[in-house]
Structure 1
Amino acid sequence: MLTSIIKSRRSIFQFKPEVVPNTAINQCLEAAIWAPNHGLTEPWRFYVIGTQMHIRLASIYAELRASKRANKTDINNYQSVYDHAIKKFMSIPKLIFVGQAIDSDLVVQAEDFAACACAIQNFQLAAWELNLGVQWSTGPIINAPETANLLQIDPSKIQLIAALYIGYPKAIPNTSRRPYLELTQYYD
């Protein structure tokens, strides 16, 4: 059963406009925290976004997209890109940011990042089991100082490493992987 969930899970980019129940999110978070983490540092931090915060973050997201894709002097184009970005961001049914507690030791930081990535994978697999899709985004919104300010995160202590976009999939992409034998070497 686990192997079939692992093999069938896909990143989802378009969601149905259905509400994701908090009970499902909590189940996914419960799975996430059981990820392996060296020395039981539990470096992950989760920021579950509600409706009002989602709206406020949409402005940051849209500003970042419009600034990257349009010239502010072309007001009509800039506004068009901005409005499209707002619509896109608001179409995400549920949003969770994942942060990593920053350790002063660089080796621990690397171990903790790996642990956070494992936690995110656990979250995604639990979500998939509940028929929820997730996109793990590392887009500019996670590095924007405005996002940290809004979430009241001190970037010297917590680094946002992911925005998880969650919802019921509109469609499931058909992708494949190369056979593991093409990517594996065995030694005696």
Structure 2
Amino acid sequence: MSIDEIIQSRRSITSFKPDAVPTEEIIDLLEVAKWAPNHKMTEPWRFLLYTGEGTETFIQAFINSQPAPGGEVSDGVKRKADHFRSIPVHLVVVMPEDPRQKTWDEDHAAVSAMIQNFQLAAWARDIGMIWRSNDWIYNPTFRESIGVEPGEKIVATLMLGYIKDVPKPKKRTDIKEKLTIIDKYSE
């Protein structure tokens, strides 16, 4: 596929085959993805990879971060945890927090570009994913349980595996509706 076809065909995937994705494959994809543009070559990303039995660490952190009356785990949390167990790999992408807004913005943009590179490279290898940034990524219990350090921001939890089902594309707005062309100088 051409790069245009890869970009236009990529979808967020929520249904995965049960087959494990080899860690070496994920490392190869991250090696490709790291070529994202990043200001001053800071490479402001760090990864936490949960695979095999290690996925239960991620899932338990999620469960423990969901407050419930009386300490019981709600049915909704149980369903979501069971769904997470059907996903072969959980990759958490973090970046350093920086009090300087310009640096924060540049780092976040670089990490986002790296994640998109990762998604596209994976798609070309029939590996799909969904990029999640749910509210529980801000929960201190979740963050601490999965190894996010103080001074780091979770940019994404990427849930990935070999693609089982590809959803149909959703309609996109014609770009001309979002484009303002300035072709003359005016004071």
* Corresponding residue for residue 9 of structure 2: 8
2:51 counterpart letter in structure 1: G
* Structure 1 stretches lacking a partner, 5+ long: none
Counting aligned pairs with the same residue, the percent is 33
Task: Supply the distance in 2 between the matched residues of 1:62 and 1:74 (Cα, whole angstroms).
Answer: 11
* Corresponding residue for residue 163 of structure 1: 157
* Structure 2 stretches lacking a partner, 5+ long: none
Task: Supply the distance in 1 between the matched residues of 2:181 and 2:106 (Cα, whole angstroms).
Answer: 25
2:156 counterpart letter in structure 1: A
Task: Supply the distance in 1 between the matched residues of 2:147 and 2:21 (Cα, whole angstroms).
Answer: 25
With over 3 angstroms needed to count, the CA separation of the structure-2 counterparts of 1:182 and 1:39, relative to structure 1, is: same
- Classify the secondary structure of the residue corresponding to 1:159: strand
* Larger mean Cα displacement after TM superposition, 98-107 or 45-54: 45-54
- Classify the secondary structure of the residue corresponding to 2:111: helix
The alignment covers a number of residue pairs equal to 181
Q: Could you list the runs of 4 or more consecutive aligned residues of structure 1 that deviate by over 4 angstroms after TM superposition? A: none
Shift of 1:4: 0.7
1:72 pairs with 2:66: no
Shift of 1:63: 4.2
Shift of 1:163: 0.2
* Corresponding residue for residue 117 of structure 2: 122
- Which of 85, 89, 101 is the aligned partner of 1:106? 101
Contact 2:65 2:141 in 1 (8 A): no
TM-score normalised by length of structure 1: 0.87
Task: Supply the distance in 2 between the matched residues of 1:63 and 1:82 (Cα, whole angstroms).
Answer: 10
Shift of 1:79: 4.5
Contact 1:137 1:164 in 2 (8 A): yes
- Which of 74, 80, 84 is the aligned partner of 1:85? 80
- Classify the secondary structure of the residue corresponding to 2:21: coil
Q: For 1:143-162, what aligned pairs fall within 5 Å after superposition?
A: 143-156=138-151, 158-162=152-156
Contact 1:63 1:82 in 2 (8 A): no
Q: Which structure's residues are more often helix, by fraction?
A: 1
* Corresponding residue for residue 38 of structure 2: 37
Shift of 1:18: 1.3
Shift of 1:28: 1.5
Residue-by-residue CA offset, 1:97-127 (whole Å, 9 max, x unaligned): 0001223321110111011100100000001
With over 3 angstroms needed to count, the CA separation of the structure-2 counterparts of 1:59 and 1:151, relative to structure 1, is: closer
Contact 1:134 1:164 in 2 (8 A): yes
- Classify the secondary structure of the residue corresponding to 1:27: helix
Residue-by-residue CA offset, 1:79-98 (whole Å, 9 max, x unaligned): 43343222111111111000
* Corresponding residue for residue 97 of structure 1: 92
1:58 counterpart letter in structure 2: I
